[in-house]
Structure 1
Amino acid sequence: MRALFRRRTLTALTASAAIALIATACTGQSTGGEDGSASGQDVTITFWHGWTQDNEVKAIEANVAAFEKAHPNIHVKVVGNITDDKSEQALRAGGSDAPDVVSSFTTDQVGKFCSAKVWADLNPFLQKSGIDPAKTFSTAMLKYSQYEGNQCSLPLLGDAYGLFYNKAAFAAAGITAPPKTFSEFDADAVKLTIAEGDGYKQLGFMPNFHGFETQPARYLGQYGATFFDADGKSTIASDPKVAAMYTWQKNLVAKLGGYDKLEKYRTTFGDEFSAKNPFETGQVAMSFDGEWRTESIAQDGVSLEWATAPFPVPDDQAATYGRGYQTGTIIGIANSSKKQTAAWEFVKFLTTDTDAVVGFANAIHNVPSTNEALNSPKLVADANFKTFIDIAKNPNSSTTPSSINGGAYQLSLQNLGYDIESGRQTDLQAALKATAKEIDAAVAQAK
């Protein structure tokens, strides 16, 4: 699932890149205005997206066809397999060759696109259409599609993270139910670990930050960390939840054999997005992953008894069990587009029409992004996929907030994690303060 892989890859945008974007982007008000489509004039808009797999392309084309049938005077020119870099360059340049509507797999783009005003603020469109975004979209998904009040994008399907576990391995270890708290999780991870020589026959869980999907920001989703305060300053040094996460991860690394031993074992893993994924091969008994894995396991045809559950939470937050980290696809309108009336009708259809959202989610096995779609009887969800639907509905689920310099602050958290888990950094509080200072400086430089 290459398109899904691109969406889940952490965006490490530097402050200098963000500054370049802002300096060259259109920073004025929307030039769209009325394009005549509302009065029945024929209008053709261009839509860029990044999906490439056959089922994904067919699904988006089916929604385009449904939209054109409902709006016979609006025609959509679809261009697929577009990378974020190419979209960014086109949005910065503007002109007749730029797209009118763009989707992106990277929610980290929102902050810089909103602040640079290369995507139009959709608040006026939402208000005119009588759409209350807070009532329409999942809370976490809505949060990652806006920046400082500018709703320059909307969610278009989402991803939710949870726990995958090997049922046969659980039974062999005498574990009767998935863990709900980190103390239970740690104990289970140890029970499920089977040593072999100087390595492992089976590892209970791979906690290292170089592991698949185990990034600090995603772990912090289980803690409910805030990342920034109301003034936009980093809170990682002042929020005790951040220190608690790094401490928990470091301790679990030690319980499972230590950083070096785990890293050596990690090098034996196959490709994450193949049947050689270590959870699918049985090399690890528990995995932190997203809803896409449910379909991957089915497609890979591996012999595996497995199930899903929400990922555990800190013991002192046991009442929040069921929460999870969320991200997903976003869609917006180019600020330079002169066909924004038609473009909005298309965006509104893709993001708020329940049948369109549910049909798309069913086709590409992602989590729906509207509350109505999450509760639709047409949504195809077996017990394992339903875990992620419930995570998306959970009011405690969270995401990483938008930043003017994209995912640079997440990269700082990742680099800090590498230093802590490997032992290169032993003073956690000092490291958190230094990293918070680094994040604040990068944000200030990007403004």
Structure 2
Amino acid sequence: MRRTTLRTLAALTACATAALFVTACTGQSSSGGDDGSAAGKDVTITFWHGWSQEHEVRAINDNIAAFEKLHPNIRVKSVGNIADDKVEQALRVGGRDAPDVISSFTTDQVGKFCSAKVWTDLAPFLQKDGIDPAKTFPATMLEYSRFQGNQCALPLLGDAYGLYYNKTAFAAAGITSPPKTFSEFEDAAAKLTIAEGDSYKQLGFMPNFHGYETSATHYLGQYGATYFDANGKSNIATDPKVAAMFTWQKNLIDKLGGFDKLERYRTTFGDEFSAKNPFHTGQVAMSYDGEWRTASLAENPVDFDWATAPFPVPDDQAHTYGRGYQTGTIIGIANTSQKQSAAWELVKYLAINTDAVVSFANAIHNVPSTNEALNSPELTADPNFRTFIDIAKNPHSSTTPSSINGGAYQLSLRNFGYQYEAGKVDLQAGLAATAREIDEAIEQAK
């Protein structure tokens, strides 16, 4: 699974109004009732998901086949490559052609799905089957699958972010181990940077927010920022961690040559999800990326030694080293489904059955999303992939919280970051204005 969360934020936010309209159409309590599947009645359910690559589709279909073998009276009609906007439209309209089970790559949607009640609260199903979600799922993954007490989704594999580093370049620069704190990281990035005219022969790290995966929210994952206070108001202007992150990022930009010079160099990078990725080509010696990059590097071998490690943390939070930003896929049941008993059996199997979770994680090189699967001896995890397993287990790891209007607050923060790193806005004044923008948008969404 390849994460493109930031690139789809704008599109998702544009769908927010449409999603909120769903409340008026389907904001009732669960309508599924007893579909007879528990008593052996033949039932066909429809499952919509976003996987489209051949090996991904094959993996999900293998799990569905295993499920149908265990539940011979439940047939699953699987439909792949479905985007969130199509899901929202189908759930708004309802009817025979609407899906029963849905998965989404976008955890930013959870607040909308839960608050609009287009996805069913799964708490009664979990309770009925004696499943304790807090014991079943890692805390961070559980956090991004619920909103204000509504467990309308469950995690279905996850992504963890960490540091990729060029061991050959490290050795040439006299660096013996990956940096653990931001001060160590800054020193390493500077040592690894080799100028060439008004550009670079090699850049230690690309810190700019337009860089691949180097977003404000990903960086803030290393600080443990909360984004909102106890009253649901944006705290980005009052949380010192937020200002500290932006100050650190801007200082690193200046240390490595300045915003304009870095931006010119960034335009020479190839596609993120290809062998032309700047880490693959040696254009950058350190990269911030997800666990899927290990599979890409195996598929497209490079001519240098490389390794992974957790991304560094602020010096005053050195004890949290090992943490990382997390996100993932979610799965839930359509509130309009008339076959929710059968739908729950599929959700439970795909999201909780250890064999199913591990086999799927192994097949598509994602992080397992249950505690048992993370510790399974059947999990394929070489040392470089193990880094991301450990990040998923780390109690300090974090995610971005759900919001009623999806990822709109992240868009606001992203846009501020673009302005700040380019020197176009004052830090505190800009953060205060962005916080007001976030609060106003949430109030409007309510």
TM-score interval for Structure 1 and Structure 2 normalised by the shorter chain: over 0.9
Of 435-444 and 21-30, the range deviating more from structure 2: 21-30
Query: Does the alignment pair 1:22 with 2:20?
Result: yes
Separation (CA, whole Å) in 2 of partners of 1:125 and 1:301? 45
Q: Report the equivalent of 2:435.
A: 436
Structure 1 unmatched ranges of 5 or more:
none
Q: Report the alpha carbon displacement of residue 18 of structure 1 after superposing the two structures with TM.
A: 2.3
Describe the shift of the 1:257–1:422 C-alpha distance in structure 2 as closer, same or farther (beyond 3 A).
same
Q: Report the equivalent of 2:124.
A: 124
TM-score, length-normalised on structure 1?
0.98
Is the CA contact (8 Å cut-off) linking 2:234 and 2:435 kept in structure 1?
Answer: yes
Q: What secondary structure sits across from 1:78 in the alignment?
A: strand
Q: Report the equivalent of 1:277.
A: 277
Q: Report the equivalent of 1:398.
A: 398
Q: What secondary structure sits across from 2:235 in the alignment?
A: coil
Q: What secondary structure sits across from 1:38 in the alignment?
A: helix
- 2:273 maps to a residue whose letter is F
Q: Report the equivalent of 2:96.
A: 96
1:288-299 maps to which residues of 2 (within 5 A)?
288-299=288-299
Q: Report the equivalent of 2:344.
A: 344
Q: Give % identity.
A: 74
1:212-291 maps to which residues of 2 (within 5 A)?
212-291=212-291
1:379-394 maps to which residues of 2 (within 5 A)?
379-394=379-394
Describe the shift of the 1:110–1:89 C-alpha distance in structure 2 as closer, same or farther (beyond 3 A).
same
- 2:387 maps to a residue whose letter is T
- 1:75 maps to a residue whose letter is R
1:138-149 maps to which residues of 2 (within 5 A)?
138-149=138-149
Is the CA contact (8 Å cut-off) linking 2:13 and 2:407 kept in structure 1?
Answer: no
Query: Does the alignment pair 1:321 with 2:318?
Result: no
Q: Report the equivalent of 2:420.
A: 420
Separation (CA, whole Å) in 1 of partners of 2:54 and 2:371? 27
Is the CA contact (8 Å cut-off) linking 1:10 and 1:407 kept in structure 2?
Answer: no
Separation (CA, whole Å) in 2 of partners of 1:353 and 1:5? 24
TM-score, length-normalised on structure 2?
0.98
Structure 2 unmatched ranges of 5 or more:
none
Separation (CA, whole Å) in 2 of partners of 1:6 and 1:316? 31
Separation (CA, whole Å) in 1 of partners of 2:354 and 2:303? 35
Describe the shift of the 1:186–1:118 C-alpha distance in structure 2 as closer, same or farther (beyond 3 A).
same
Separation (CA, whole Å) in 1 of partners of 2:365 and 2:18? 36
Separation (CA, whole Å) in 1 of partners of 2:410 and 2:399? 12
Q: Report the equivalent of 2:206.
A: 206
Q: Report the equivalent of 2:150.
A: 150
Q: Report the equivalent of 2:184.
A: 184
Of 88-97 and 61-70, the range deviating more from structure 2: 88-97
Deviation readout 1:257-283 (Å, 9 max, x if unpaired): 000000000000000000000000000
Is the CA contact (8 Å cut-off) linking 2:68 and 2:76 kept in structure 1?
Answer: yes
Q: Report the equivalent of 2:9.
A: 11
1:31-42 maps to which residues of 2 (within 5 A)?
31-42=31-42
Is the CA contact (8 Å cut-off) linking 1:200 and 1:265 kept in structure 2?
Answer: yes
Separation (CA, whole Å) in 1 of partners of 2:176 and 2:301? 26
Separation (CA, whole Å) in 2 of partners of 1:247 and 1:63? 46
Separation (CA, whole Å) in 1 of partners of 2:282 and 2:4? 25
Q: Report the equivalent of 1:355.
A: 355
Separation (CA, whole Å) in 2 of partners of 1:437 and 1:103? 33
- 1:437 maps to a residue whose letter is R
Q: Report the alpha carbon displacement of residue 14 of structure 1 after superposing the two structures with TM.
A: 7.1
Q: What secondary structure sits across from 1:46 in the alignment?
A: strand
Q: Report the alpha carbon displacement of residue 13 of structure 1 after superposing the two structures with TM.
A: 5.7
Q: Report the alpha carbon displacement of residue 433 of structure 1 after superposing the two structures with TM.
A: 0.8
Q: Report the alpha carbon displacement of residue 64 of structure 1 after superposing the two structures with TM.
A: 0.2
Q: What secondary structure sits across from 2:28 in the alignment?
A: coil
Q: Report the equivalent of 1:56.
A: 56
Is the CA contact (8 Å cut-off) linking 1:15 and 1:442 kept in structure 2?
Answer: no
Deviation readout 1:61-104 (Å, 9 max, x if unpaired): 01001100011111100111111111111111111110000001
Q: Report the alpha carbon displacement of residue 12 of structure 1 after superposing the two structures with TM.
A: 2.9
Q: Report the alpha carbon displacement of residue 9 of structure 1 after superposing the two structures with TM.
A: 4.0
Separation (CA, whole Å) in 2 of partners of 1:230 and 1:10? 28
Separation (CA, whole Å) in 2 of partners of 1:301 and 1:224? 34
Q: CA RMSD in A?
A: 1.1
Is the CA contact (8 Å cut-off) linking 2:259 and 2:422 kept in structure 1?
Answer: yes
Is the CA contact (8 Å cut-off) linking 1:13 and 1:407 kept in structure 2?
Answer: no
- 2:428 maps to a residue whose letter is Q
Describe the shift of the 1:34–1:81 C-alpha distance in structure 2 as closer, same or farther (beyond 3 A).
same
Q: What secondary structure sits across from 1:400 in the alignment?
A: coil
